């Protein structure tokens, strides 16, 4: 497939934005400056960037506890993300949600919540709304391998297939459900096969290769827009950081989960570096341009971070504001 350099560089820039954003949070988490639980997306950037590049502004996404990447890739403001994590009034959820409840309705980021599998049926409802209104919007539900243990996923697969909804189920299989490796929670690690008995189009791709992600998502979007949804996509990937916070859950450390050589092997498949390398090989990215993009993203991250930190906290007398909609 042929891509314009502009498209490819935008994809690269988006992955870099997510990576640098996430890594900028590490130090403040360690120092206690950030207190709310933060689930870093580092290592999985190709999926958010690739999928959202295949979507239009009007399309909708729902996410989970590890959704900074989905939010940014769909157009959410970086400043409002940082501000939310710092509990500021200027946060995307006005400091009421924290890292696990980020939202950008104007960009179609309609709901992100950490009850595992909890937003899958919400995405199903958004897709149902589209099918009733016939507005040709597509909804994406991002969830992890851990969510495949929840019954609501299977209820949702059935209903989506029954009503032929424009919904893309996206399983980001990073091989760990909090502390448990997938072999300890599933009898079968080919997750996409769960869509088979429902007659849903499904496949598995390398979630660290952004163009593979993009192309599979683009096909899925096209199927959904043509009334041939739903689609189930499984992307294999790996989170460089641990389940929550920057603790990498390395064996021997107190969380004692992941073997060091496993982490090293995945580091060699770093989605940002691999894409960078291939762009350089194709002469789309030069050393000079790379430095320019990195400097510009670095500046964007630092400026938004600093601005968020200097923003006002939520006024204490607003505790009960927003309990009810008015």
Candidate list 37, 75, 118, 181; residue touching other proteins; CB under 8 A:
118
HSE value, Cβ hemisphere, 13 Å, CA-based, for 5: 9
DSSP 232: E
Residue placing its CB nearer to other proteins in the complex, 55 or 110: 110
Shortest distance (Å) from residue 172 CB to other proteins: 20
How open is the CA angle 132-216-239, to the nearest 5 degrees? 105
Residue placing its CB nearer to other proteins in the complex, 159 or 275: 159
Q: Which of 206, 64, 215, 51 is nearest to 139 (CA)?
A: 51
Written as six digits, the tokens of 20 are: 């640098």
Shortest distance (Å) from residue 128 CB to other proteins: 5
Residue 115 is a binding residue for other proteins (CB under 8 A):
yes
Candidate list 1, 187, 287, 325; residue touching other proteins; CB under 8 A:
325
Candidate list 151, 183, 268, 317; residue touching other proteins; CB under 8 A:
151
Shortest distance (Å) from residue 169 CB to other proteins: 12
Q: How many residues sit close enough to other proteins to count as binding (CB under 8 A)?
A: 45
**CA end-to-end span of the chain:** 50
Shortest distance (Å) from residue 133 CB to other proteins: 8
Residue 316 is a binding residue for other proteins (CB under 8 A):
no
Cα(192)–Cα(202) distance, rounded to whole angstroms?
6
Shortest distance (Å) from residue 294 CB to other proteins: 32
- Of 14-22, 123-131, 239-247, 288-296, the segment contacting other proteins by CB under 8 A is 123-131
Report yes or no: 68 and 22 within 8 Å, Cβ to Cβ.
Answer: yes
Phi, psi of 169 (to 5 degrees): -85, 120
Q: State how far the alpha carbon of 144 is from the alpha carbons of 64, 89, 109, 150, 181, in Å.
A: 8, 30, 18, 11, 13
> What sign results for the dihedral spanned by CA atoms 244, 245, 248, 252?
negative
Residue numbers 22-61 binding other proteins by CB under 8 A: 60
Residue placing its CB nearer to other proteins in the complex, 46 or 80: 80
Give the dihedral of Cα atoms 304, 309, 312, 316; nearest 10 deg.
130
Within 10 angstroms of residue 97's Cβ, the number of other Cβ atoms is 18
Residue numbers 50-109 binding other proteins by CB under 8 A: 60, 62, 91-97, 101, 103, 105
Residue 208 is a binding residue for other proteins (CB under 8 A):
no
Residue placing its CB nearer to other proteins in the complex, 58 or 302: 58
- Of 24-32, 131-139, 197-205, 248-256, the segment contacting other proteins by CB under 8 A is 131-139
Candidate list 132, 184, 264, 268; residue touching other proteins; CB under 8 A:
132
3-state secondary structure of 256: coil
Report yes or no: 250 and 267 within 8 Å, Cβ to Cβ.
Answer: no
Shortest distance (Å) from residue 39 CB to other proteins: 16
Instruction: Name the residues that contact other proteins, by CB under 8 A.
Output: 60, 62, 91-97, 101, 103, 105, 110-111, 113, 115, 118-132, 139, 151-152, 155-156, 158-159, 162, 321-326
């Amino acid at each position: 497939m042929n891509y314009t350099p502009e498209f490819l560089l935008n994809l690269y820039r988006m992955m870099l934005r997510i990576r640098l954003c996430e890594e900028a949070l590490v130090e403040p988490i360690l120092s206690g400056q950030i207190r709310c639980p933060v689930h870093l997306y580092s290592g999985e950037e190709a999926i958010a960037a690739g999928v959202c590049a295949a979507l239009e502004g009007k399309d909708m996404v729902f996410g989970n506890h590890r959704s900074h990447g989905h939010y940014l890739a769909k157009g959410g403001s970086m400043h409002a993300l940082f501000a939310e994590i710092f509990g500021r009034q200027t946060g995307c959820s006005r400091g009421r949600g924290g890292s696990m409840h980020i939202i950008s309705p104007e960009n179609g980021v309609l709901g992100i919540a950490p009850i595992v599998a909890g937003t899958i049926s919400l995405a199903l409802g958004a897709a149902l709304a589209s099918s009733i209104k016939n507005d040709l919007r597509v909804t994406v539900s991002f969830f992890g391998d851990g969510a495949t243990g929840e019954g609501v996923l299977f209820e949702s697969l059935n209903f989506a297939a029954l009503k032929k909804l424009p919904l893309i189920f996206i399983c980001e299989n990073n091989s760990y459900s909090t502390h448990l490796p997938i072999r300890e929670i599933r009898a079968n690690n080919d997750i996409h096969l769960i869509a088979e008995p429902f007659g849903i189009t499904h496949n598995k791709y390398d979630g660290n290769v952004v163009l593979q992600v993009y192309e599979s998502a683009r096909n899925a979007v096209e199927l959904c827009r043509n009334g041939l949804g739903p689609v189930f996509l499984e992307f294999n990937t790996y989170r460089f950081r641990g389940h929550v916070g920057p603790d990498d859950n390395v064996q021997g450390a107190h969380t004692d989960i992941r073997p060091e050589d496993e982490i090293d092997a995945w580091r060699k498949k770093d989605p940002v570096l691999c894409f960078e390398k291939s762009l350089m090989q194709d002469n789309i990215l030069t050393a000079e341009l790379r430095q320019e993009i990195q400097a510009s993203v670095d500046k964007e991250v630092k400026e938004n971070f600093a601005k968020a930190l200097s923003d006002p906290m939520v006024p204490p007398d607003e505790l009960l504001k927003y309990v009810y909609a008015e």
